[in-house]
């Protein structure tokens, strides 16, 4: 490897690390702001304002669409989707390491979500548009697990799709799905907007920590295989 190639590699590596650190700090700060507003200041004006903005747009058609969107962020959809993705890497790609990483991120994010919900115990909004669901409100579980799952999919696309235009179209679609799932939870009045924002922050923090942990624990931190997930 030439000196120029070495410089190019370290430049790219430093930009990647800088982006991860920046994302982590911004999301941690955002999470702190939201948690402080809700649990310390008891200020719910932001959540009520978001509900009032959405209210004029509520209709039977919109509600039906939002129910479909919220389903793709539910465990009924994401659990089989995660199992299929793990199975694909385990049996088709013969890549146990990547299959383990996907499973680890998925399972740990669900455990973390339930622990946070149980510890903070925020009640859900009153008068949901569909049948009331059980469990606590903060953070939005649908949003949190959607960010981790579709974040993994986006990373796989980034690493494996070589056509630049198609790559970014697919990555943007993954981001849109995350946002739509989060919006559907607020629209349906199953979560407050602050629950969804916190879930986005937590999901991104979780992905950054997972990336850092797996890079640190890899025997070879510079994998050559194109199907390396993290």
Range name among 74-83, 95-104, 171-180, 196-205 with the lowest pLDDT average: 95-104
Residue 77 is encoded by which pair of tokens?
């959809």
Beta carbons of 73 and 146 less than 8 angstroms apart: yes
- pLDDT tens-place string over residues 175-230: 999 999 999 999 999 999 999 999 999 999 999 888 887 777 665 443 444 444 44
Q: How far is CA 114 from the centre of its chain?
A: 15
| Separation between Cα atoms, residue 39 and residue 1, nearest integer Å | 54
Mean pLDDT, residues 37-57: 91
Question: Higher pLDDT residue, 11 or 201?
Answer: 201
Give the chain's radius of gyration (CA, Å).
19
What confidence score (pLDDT) does residue 5 get?
A: 54
| Separation between Cα atoms, residue 99 and residue 101, nearest integer Å | 5
Beta carbons of 24 and 191 less than 8 angstroms apart: no
Question: Taking Cα atoms as reference points, which of 174, 170, 119, 180 lies closest to residue 148?
Answer: 174
Beta carbons of 147 and 78 less than 8 angstroms apart: no
DSSP codes, 140-183:
-HHHHHHHHHHHHHHHHHHHH---HHHHHHHHHHHHHHHHHHHH
């Amino acid at each position: 490897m030439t000196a120029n190639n070495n410089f190019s590699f370290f430049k790219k590596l430093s930009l990647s690390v800088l982006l991860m650190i920046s994302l982590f700090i911004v999301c941690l700060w955002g999470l702190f702001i939201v948690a402080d507003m809700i649990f310390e200041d008891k200020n719910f004006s932001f959540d009520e304002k978001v509900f009032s903005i959405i209210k004029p747009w509520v209709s039977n058609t919109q509600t039906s669409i939002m129910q479909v969107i919220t389903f793709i962020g539910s465990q009924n959809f994401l659990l089989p989707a995660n199992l299929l993705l793990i199975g694909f890497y385990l049996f088709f790609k013969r890549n146990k390491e990547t299959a383990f990483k996907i499973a680890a991120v998925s399972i740990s994010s669900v455990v973390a979500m339930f622990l946070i919900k149980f510890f903070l115990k925020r009640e859900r909004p009153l008068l949901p548009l569909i049948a009331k669901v059980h469990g606590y409100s903060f953070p939005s579980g649908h949003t949190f697990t959607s960010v981790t799952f579709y974040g993994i999919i986006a990373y796989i696309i980034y690493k494996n799709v070589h056509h630049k235009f198609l790559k970014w179209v697919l990555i943007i679609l993954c981001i849109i799905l995350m946002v739509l799932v989060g919006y559907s939870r607020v629209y349906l009045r199953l979560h407050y907007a602050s629950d969804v924002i916190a879930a986005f922050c937590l999901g991104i923090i979780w992905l950054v920590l997972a990336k850092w942990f797996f890079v640190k624990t890899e025997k070879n931190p510079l994998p050559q295989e194109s199907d390396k997930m993290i």
